[in-house]
Chains A and B, each alone.
Chain A
Amino acid sequence: MYKVLDKSIIGADEMVMNMGPQHPSTHGVLRLKIVTDGEIVSHIEPIIGYLHRCFEKHCENLSYEQIVPFTDRCDYLAAMHMAHGYSIAVEKLLGIEELPERVEYIRVILAEFQRIASHLIAVGVFGLDVGAITPFTWTLRDRERIIDLFESVTGSRLLYNYIWPGGLAHDLPPNFIQKANDFLNYFEPQIEEYNNLLTTNKIFIERSADIGVMPVDVAINYGVSGPTLRGSGVPFDLRKDEPYSIYQKFDFDVPVGEGLMGTVGDCWDRYYVKVLEMKESIKILKQALNSIPEGDVKAAIPKKIRPKKGEIYSRYETARGDLGLYIRSGGKNMPSRLKMRSPAYCNLSVLNEISAGWMISDVISVLGSLDIVLGEIDR
């Protein structure tokens, strides 16, 4: 047992280490410049941009419809969320108030499935980061079934291009509701299995509880959002606080970190919030699947997207947090400026604050619990 050392004590010779861009647990091409004293890390500087694909520059040269597939490629683990968030922003810009009910239902259903899929990756990879391999393969196995569902709906497995501004690409396949319900019945007990295997494992608790504690004021000051913020005990969820789409119709809770195994806001809390959110998503899905209405999903799709001059800022709750889209329209069919405030970008910037002073292994835990996707950070 050790505690965070006073930084002034770390006076011995320090060594600069490069973790990444090629490293097993930097979740992609992230590079961490770590200053270490023995095993203890005194400073971390994340260096990003290895996956920069000029998303914002592309957007200025593409029409609003053409941007949709590009948004998919930002957060490739939650492509539905990005497309959904973008569509909501464009609808807001166009002034489309109401969509056919079926469209909203399908969007919510797919978004919640995507949330489960994304959290499954996050949970499994966090296990992998602390050395447990089996949870990862288990979560991937279950994610595969969600991906199969998506494939039956959209025809693709990772980047869907399904949710369009104003509607959807096409309707659901005939037996989707049945398959979705089958999956939920299969999946609900699986969560308990993850808990038995990983969440309540003594070694796992030792490795994640009380580590990388993020106090509320730090989290808010750094603009942290999503499960990472809720892990610090802030019950802020856009689906609840400012419901977009039709989230106000559904009954669900916003789980927050309670410090069950240690301090509020530690890695374990950030991890466990994701596990609980999967349960909440199942709740939403069950309600939505039971009450999905009939209707035309393409009715509201505008023929030509050419918004008036103006700006909007739209927020959307992705699996990783608060996706902000600032769109400036110059009155053309292409945005004059589109800025994406990606949640993982802000979440990653807090890394040095909460993991300096801990050990190398803990930095990995903290990074895993922040649940970053580099495609979205670098855009």
Chain B
Amino acid sequence: MTSVVDSLLNLFSFTGLDNSILLILVLHIPALSIFLVMVVNATVAVYVERKVAAFMQDRLGPMEVGLFGFKGGKKFWGGIGQTIADAIKLLTKEDIVPDSADKKLMLLAPFIIFIGAFLTFIAVPFSQNLVVSDFNIGVFYIMAMSSVGVIGIIIAGWSSNNKWSLYGSMRAAAQIVSYEIPIGLSLLLAVLVVGSLNLGDIVQWQAENRWFIFHSPFTFIAFFIFFISVVAETNRTPFDIPEAESELVAGWMTEYSGFKWAIFFLSEYANMMIVSIVASVVFLGGWLSPFAIINVGIPNSWMIFDGPLIGIIWLMSKALFLIFVMMWFRWTFPRLRVDQLMYLCWKVFIPFCLANLFFVSIWELIGGLFFK
């Protein structure tokens, strides 16, 4: 698997520029693209979230608000004006900083969270060869970088000098640090079977064998543990206790407004997208077409649906489905209490993950003996 940066370096080598200058110039392209992906993702996701909510809850507003008088038959495109109004509102709103807040840290916190999400995107593949930088330790790198955001959350909660924010950040820190363990253990299953931390290798293995979720009963369980844990890691309902609006007003985001709040928003949706893509890549066959789920009896001609260009569609549709499921959760479930959340993580998921790890090793050993 080659990365985007390498391809771009090759592409622009005709300019005859010095390699290091070229690198610096070329790096802007993926960086801007990532930023664009994040922005577009947040805008679209907000629209979709609103529509999902509207359909599930019989809400009227998101069905009606049009754009320049365009309502698009009310049902599907209605409400598109709201997203744009939202974006303008967020960017032009007054930035309120409480008088007794720690102003430096309050400014720093959104950017730490944003950088965490941004750095994670570097290793997230959108399709074959469509990754900014192809790390050999891809899975591990993504886990490491997604753990950076929690510091931003803690700082945001503390620096606001608001008791509700402090509660929110305490809960967030406990929750995110805890849920990293089941996430890591579930990903370890894939790493154990494939023998590589590289996301490209993991997909390649799935292309040669079968989708990882169908590899064994234990990976099947692991997928659900992973998915529920990432819902918790991204602070979505039913695990949104750090920003539980009925208890903590808005948790660690209470004192933020305007552009800083928009950055939180951007990062939250970016994180949703990252975890959905990782779940799709590791468990759902990444950019492979669903025709080859278990890789048996498929006519070769169907393989035209695979490949780097069509792969991006497959991957994104899988990821978007997972994002949709997250939204579905949000509009269906009540919120867990903080101790129930911890109970779920430490006393349910982690034992299950460890058992999974043990059994999948045995499965591999036996499978190695019998099915080779």
Q: Which of A77-85, A106-114, A200-208, A340-348 lies at the interface?
A: A200-208
What separation, in Å, do the CA atoms of A17 and B334 have in the docked complex? 24
What separation, in Å, do the CA atoms of A227 and B58 have in the docked complex? 29
Q: A23-B249, A141-B58, A203-B238 are in contact. Are A127 and B343 (CB under 8 A)?
A: no
Q: Which of B22-30, B199-207, B239-247 lies at the interface?
A: B239-247
Given A39-B167, A141-B58, A360-B167; 18 other pairs, CB 8 A cutoff: A2-B339, A23-B249, A25-B246, A39-B338, A130-B334, A131-B237, A132-B332, A132-B334, A133-B330, A134-B331, A134-B332, A137-B58, A138-B58, A197-B332, A203-B333, A203-B335, A206-B340, A207-B334
Q: A131-B246, A137-B57, A137-B58 are in contact. Are A361 and B337 (CB under 8 A)?
A: yes
A1 contacts partner chain B, Cβ-Cβ < 8 Å: yes
B163 contacts partner chain A, Cβ-Cβ < 8 Å: yes
For residue A128, which residue of chain B has the nearest CB? B246
**Contact A24–B249 (Cβ < 8 Å):** yes
B61 to chain A minimum Cβ distance, whole angstroms, is 11
A-B contact pairs, 18 of them (CB 8 A): A15-B163, A23-B249, A24-B246, A39-B167, A131-B244, A131-B333, A131-B334, A133-B331, A141-B58, A198-B334, A201-B334, A203-B334, A203-B336, A206-B336, A206-B337, A207-B340, A360-B167, A361-B337
B59 contacts partner chain A, Cβ-Cβ < 8 Å: yes
**Contact A201–B333 (Cβ < 8 Å):** yes
B-chain residues with CB within 8 Å of residue A1 when the two chains form the complex: 339, 343
B37 contacts partner chain A, Cβ-Cβ < 8 Å: no
What separation, in Å, do the CA atoms of A206 and B57 have in the docked complex? 23
What separation, in Å, do the CA atoms of A15 and B248 have in the docked complex? 15
What separation, in Å, do the CA atoms of A204 and B246 have in the docked complex? 14
A322 contacts partner chain B, Cβ-Cβ < 8 Å: no
What separation, in Å, do the CA atoms of A198 and B331 have in the docked complex? 11
What separation, in Å, do the CA atoms of A136 and B346 have in the docked complex? 32
- B 219-261 binary contact with A (CB < 8 Å = 1; else 0): 0000000000000000001101100111111000000000000
Q: A24-B245, A361-B338 are in contact. Are A137 and B59 (CB under 8 A)?
A: yes
A371 contacts partner chain B, Cβ-Cβ < 8 Å: no
For residue B331, which residue of chain A has the nearest CB? A134
A-chain residues with CB within 8 Å of residue B336 when the two chains form the complex: 203, 206-207
B84 contacts partner chain A, Cβ-Cβ < 8 Å: no
- A 22-46 binary contact with B (CB < 8 Å = 1; else 0): 0111000000000000010000000
**Contact B246–A134 (Cβ < 8 Å):** no
Q: A1-B343, A201-B333, A206-B337 are in contact. Are A360 and B247 (CB under 8 A)?
A: yes
B36 contacts partner chain A, Cβ-Cβ < 8 Å: no
**Contact A131–B335 (Cβ < 8 Å):** yes
B303 contacts partner chain A, Cβ-Cβ < 8 Å: no
B246 to chain A minimum Cβ distance, whole angstroms, is 4
- B 312-343 binary contact with A (CB < 8 Å = 1; else 0): 00000000000000000011111111111001
B-chain residues with CB within 8 Å of residue A129 when the two chains form the complex: 246
B177 contacts partner chain A, Cβ-Cβ < 8 Å: no
Interface residues of A in 121-149 (CB under 8 A from B): 127-134, 137-138, 141
B56 contacts partner chain A, Cβ-Cβ < 8 Å: yes
A351 contacts partner chain B, Cβ-Cβ < 8 Å: no
B-chain residues with CB within 8 Å of residue A201 when the two chains form the complex: 333-334
For residue A40, which residue of chain B has the nearest CB? B339
Interface residues of B in 136-176 (CB under 8 A from A): 163-164, 167
B-chain residues with CB within 8 Å of residue A204 when the two chains form the complex: 334
**Contact A132–B249 (Cβ < 8 Å):** no
A-chain residues with CB within 8 Å of residue B334 when the two chains form the complex: 127, 130-132, 198, 201, 203-204, 207
Tell me whether chain B's interface is mostly helix, strand or loop, or mixed. Answer: loop
What separation, in Å, do the CA atoms of A137 and B334 have in the docked complex? 14
B361 to chain A minimum Cβ distance, whole angstroms, is 32
Q: A25-B246, A364-B247 are in contact. Are A130 and B56 (CB under 8 A)?
A: no
A362 contacts partner chain B, Cβ-Cβ < 8 Å: yes
A140 to chain B minimum Cβ distance, whole angstroms, is 9
Q: How many residues of B contact A (CB 8 A)?
A: 30
A-chain residues with CB within 8 Å of residue B53 when the two chains form the complex: 133
**Contact B249–A17 (Cβ < 8 Å):** no
**Contact B333–A132 (Cβ < 8 Å):** yes
What separation, in Å, do the CA atoms of A127 and B333 have in the docked complex? 10
What separation, in Å, do the CA atoms of A314 and B330 have in the docked complex? 46
What separation, in Å, do the CA atoms of A77 and B163 have in the docked complex? 32
B-chain residues with CB within 8 Å of residue A364 when the two chains form the complex: 246-247
What separation, in Å, do the CA atoms of A207 and B332 have in the docked complex? 15
The listed residue (B56, B59, B163, B343) touching A17 by CB distance below 8 A is B163
B-chain residues with CB within 8 Å of residue A133 when the two chains form the complex: 53, 57, 330-331
B-chain residues with CB within 8 Å of residue A24 when the two chains form the complex: 245-246, 249
**Contact A134–B56 (Cβ < 8 Å):** yes
B143 to chain A minimum Cβ distance, whole angstroms, is 27
For residue B58, which residue of chain A has the nearest CB? A141
A379 to chain B minimum Cβ distance, whole angstroms, is 26
Interface centre among B240, B247, B248, by most A CB within 10 Å? B247
For residue A208, which residue of chain B has the nearest CB? B334
What separation, in Å, do the CA atoms of A130 and B248 have in the docked complex? 12
A318 to chain B minimum Cβ distance, whole angstroms, is 25
**Contact B335–A207 (Cβ < 8 Å):** yes
Interface centre among A129, A138, A141, A361, by most B CB within 10 Å? A361
A359 contacts partner chain B, Cβ-Cβ < 8 Å: yes
For residue B59, which residue of chain A has the nearest CB? A137
- A 9-21 binary contact with B (CB < 8 Å = 1; else 0): 0000001010000
- B 56-87 binary contact with A (CB < 8 Å = 1; else 0): 11110000000000000000000000000000
What separation, in Å, do the CA atoms of A184 and B339 have in the docked complex? 41
Q: A138-B57, A138-B58, A203-B238 are in contact. Are A359 and B338 (CB under 8 A)?
A: yes
A336 to chain B minimum Cβ distance, whole angstroms, is 44
A23 to chain B minimum Cβ distance, whole angstroms, is 6
**Contact A207–B337 (Cβ < 8 Å):** yes
For residue A141, which residue of chain B has the nearest CB? B58
B-chain residues with CB within 8 Å of residue A203 when the two chains form the complex: 238, 333-336
Q: A130-B335, A132-B333, A206-B340 are in contact. Are A361 and B244 (CB under 8 A)?
A: yes
Q: A1-B343, A203-B238 are in contact. Are A359 and B337 (CB under 8 A)?
A: yes
What separation, in Å, do the CA atoms of A306 and B332 have in the docked complex? 56
What separation, in Å, do the CA atoms of A128 and B247 have in the docked complex? 10
- A 348-375 binary contact with B (CB < 8 Å = 1; else 0): 0000000000011110100000000000
B19 to chain A minimum Cβ distance, whole angstroms, is 54
What separation, in Å, do the CA atoms of A197 and B58 have in the docked complex? 14
